[in-house]
Amino acid sequence: MDDYIVEMRHVTKRFPGIVANDDISLGIKKGEIFALLGENGAGKSTLMSILFGMYEPDEGEVYIRGKKVETFSPNHATELNIGMVHQHFKLVSNYTITENIILGMEPRRRIAGIFPAVDVKSADKKVAELSKKFGLEVDPTQKIEDLNVSMQQRVEILKMLYREAEILIFDEPTAVLTPQEIEFLLEIIREMRRKGKTIILITHKLEEIKKVADRCAILCRGRLVGMCDVATTSTKEMAARMVGREVSFELGKEPAKFGAPVLNVDHLSVKNDDGFTVVSDVSFSVRAGEIFAIAGVAGNGQVEIADAVAGLAPVSSGTVTLAGKDITRSSVRARAEQGLAYIPEDRQARGLILDFTLSENLMLKRYYQEPYCVKNVLHRDEFDKKSRELIERFDIRSGQGEQTVVRSMSGGNQQKAIVAREIELDAPCIIFVQPTRGLDIGAIEHIHEQILAERSRGKAILLISLELDEIMNLADTIGVIYNGQLLKTAPADTLTTNEVGQFMMGVKE
């Protein structure tokens, strides 16, 4: 077994109420791209956090280059040339790119031979060299808070490379990227392999595994249930092994029954913080029983439309009407009470309170209503009862059920919790922004079924997604946004995927 650069033997890790990793043994070869596949909560992030020294296994051993790891800490992992890009980035937002990259290992120099100081110049130079070598261009003096997610990810990657990582762990790196950015990242990963690095890739997207990985390990509820050679295994087989059943990929969509318009957006314009117009004169309406989907490349204004409708971004001109009432200037809570549910894009910042329990999070929009609150007294047992019902219906997996602190939940299960809470509001109008980001294929199927069920119940649904497949499968009407404007609005069955793709690139008829 000497040719393994990483070896795990009988690794077990328990958290309160759950065995996150259950007797896992596997080996990773130097210079390979090793994929890790598994349902939400299967234990992927936990297993890789052990390798990166963030957790110590309760049982079992880890060997790096044949040598047993005795100390589990990220610092020690760094010394062993292991790096990790986490599912949720860990950058300091008011620091510059270089400052983030060198954090904790700042090159030192002495002013006048006496006073210690950080040698920013030489750090900037090394960062610039690395970005050139791997094609990851950045401006080292920019601050993190001014960067979009794809650039932040570049910084995380450079941070690993700066620390001379040879074993690089990527935890769902593509979940936050656009299709173009994904292609670019996969190419970077291939380039790293050519340079002899070992890569571990966690992803829910089977095509990505098929494209770049050599081998794939499949986890299911904490256990290793399969190890396959990617070249000789079909994506269908991988999916079936992971979920433990056939995944249909086909949705039963009932014929549309449209009612009256519920949401009307008229001549809407929105400016960003810098006063730049990001949504320009957009008009559309969503009827009861209709899924209106906005397709577009990320950053073309689609999220700003959702934010403006939900009351999270100010409208600079135009009106938003919900069930006949002008809500253009209403507060967020007033809109919710008027009948608007919202599944936001950034689940950690806007969708959840991470240090609250799952039950509290599920009741965030309801706690002040009966029967959860009677005469100003909160009834926690009612919270918990309702929460258990939602956990069951949406298959939200965690260690301690409704009492689990949300921060400890897996990324995908956090997302399921938001979707559950918002659908449960039973609002006539629901906005879904990237509802299935970070979800495993079984969970995606489930959420799609729930969205269609809401449509059948006569809800007006505004869907914003970067996944063209998702839009083509669900939408009744598609509006394609480009550069802040709706270039094309048409019934979904009159458009092909190809045509929508063209409009997304700004091609006009």
Binding site for ligand ATP (CB under 6 A): 15, 18, 20, 38, 40-46, 87, 397-399, 408-413
Of 404, 401, 363, 354, residue with least CA distance to 382: 363
In three-state secondary structure terms, 337 is helix
* Smallest separation, CB 428 to ligand ATP (Å): 31
In the list ligand ATP, Mg ion, none, the entry touching 18 (Cβ below 5 to 8 angstroms by class) is ligand ATP
In the list ligand ATP, Mg ion, none, the entry touching 43 (Cβ below 5 to 8 angstroms by class) is ligand ATP
CA separation for the pair 148, 146 (Å, rounded): 7
Q: Which is nearer to Mg ion, 45 or 415 (CB)?
A: 45
Q: Which is nearer to ligand ATP, 96 or 436 (CB)?
A: 436
C-alpha triplet 103, 109, 115: angle, nearest 5°:
110
Q: Are 509 and 492 in contact (CB under 8 A)?
A: no
In the list ligand ATP, Mg ion, none, the entry touching 484 (Cβ below 5 to 8 angstroms by class) is none
Q: Which is nearer to ligand ATP, 158 or 420 (CB)?
A: 420
Query: 123-134: string of b/e by CB count within 10 Å (b at 16+)?
Result: bbebbeebbeeb
* Smallest separation, CB 347 to ligand ATP (Å): 11
Q: Are 315 and 269 in contact (CB under 8 A)?
A: yes
In the list ligand ATP, Mg ion, none, the entry touching 351 (Cβ below 5 to 8 angstroms by class) is none
* Smallest separation, CB 36 to ligand ATP (Å): 8
CA separation for the pair 238, 320 (Å, rounded): 45
In the list ligand ATP, Mg ion, none, the entry touching 408 (Cβ below 5 to 8 angstroms by class) is ligand ATP
Q: Which is nearer to ligand ATP, 87 or 280 (CB)?
A: 87
Q: Which is nearer to Mg ion, 36 or 320 (CB)?
A: 36
Q: Which is nearer to Mg ion, 339 or 411 (CB)?
A: 411
Q: Which is nearer to ligand ATP, 98 or 398 (CB)?
A: 398
* Smallest separation, CB 469 to ligand ATP (Å): 19
HEC states along 165-186? CCEEEEECCCCCCCHHHHHHHH
Q: Which helix (H) or strand (E) holds 278?
A: strand 277-287
* Smallest separation, CB 486 to ligand ATP (Å): 34
* Smallest separation, CB 148 to ligand ATP (Å): 22
In the list Mg ion, ligand ATP, none, the entry touching 41 (Cβ below 5 to 8 angstroms by class) is ligand ATP
HEC states along 98-131? HHHHHCCCCCEEEECCCEEEECHHHHHHHHHHHH
* Smallest separation, CB 45 to Mg ion (Å): 3
In the list Mg ion, ligand ATP, none, the entry touching 501 (Cβ below 5 to 8 angstroms by class) is none
Q: Which is nearer to ligand ATP, 66 or 244 (CB)?
A: 244
Give me the residues paired with residue 293 across strands. Answer: 463, 478
* Smallest separation, CB 15 to ligand ATP (Å): 3
Q: Quick one: angle between helices 441-456 and 411-424, nearest 10?
A: 10
**Interacting residue ranges for Mg ion, rule: CB under 5 A:** 45, 87, 410-411
Q: What is the DSSP string of 360-429?
A: HHHTTTTTTSTTTEETTEE-HHHHHHHHHHHHHHHT---SSGGGSBGGGS-HHHHHHHHHHHHHHT--SE
* Smallest separation, CB 44 to Mg ion (Å): 5
In the list ligand ATP, Mg ion, none, the entry touching 409 (Cβ below 5 to 8 angstroms by class) is ligand ATP
In three-state secondary structure terms, 226 is strand
* Smallest separation, CB 431 to ligand ATP (Å): 23
In the list ligand ATP, Mg ion, none, the entry touching 397 (Cβ below 5 to 8 angstroms by class) is ligand ATP
CA separation for the pair 226, 157 (Å, rounded): 29
Helices (H), 428-482: 441-456, 468-474
Q: Which is nearer to ligand ATP, 316 or 408 (CB)?
A: 408
In the list ligand ATP, Mg ion, none, the entry touching 174 (Cβ below 5 to 8 angstroms by class) is none
By Cβ distance, which residue is nearest to ligand ATP?
Answer: 412
CA separation for the pair 509, 507 (Å, rounded): 7
Of 178, 142, 138, 144, residue with least CA distance to 162: 138
Q: Quick one: angle between helices 380-394 and 411-424, nearest 10?
A: 110
Q: Which is nearer to ligand ATP, 96 or 357 (CB)?
A: 357
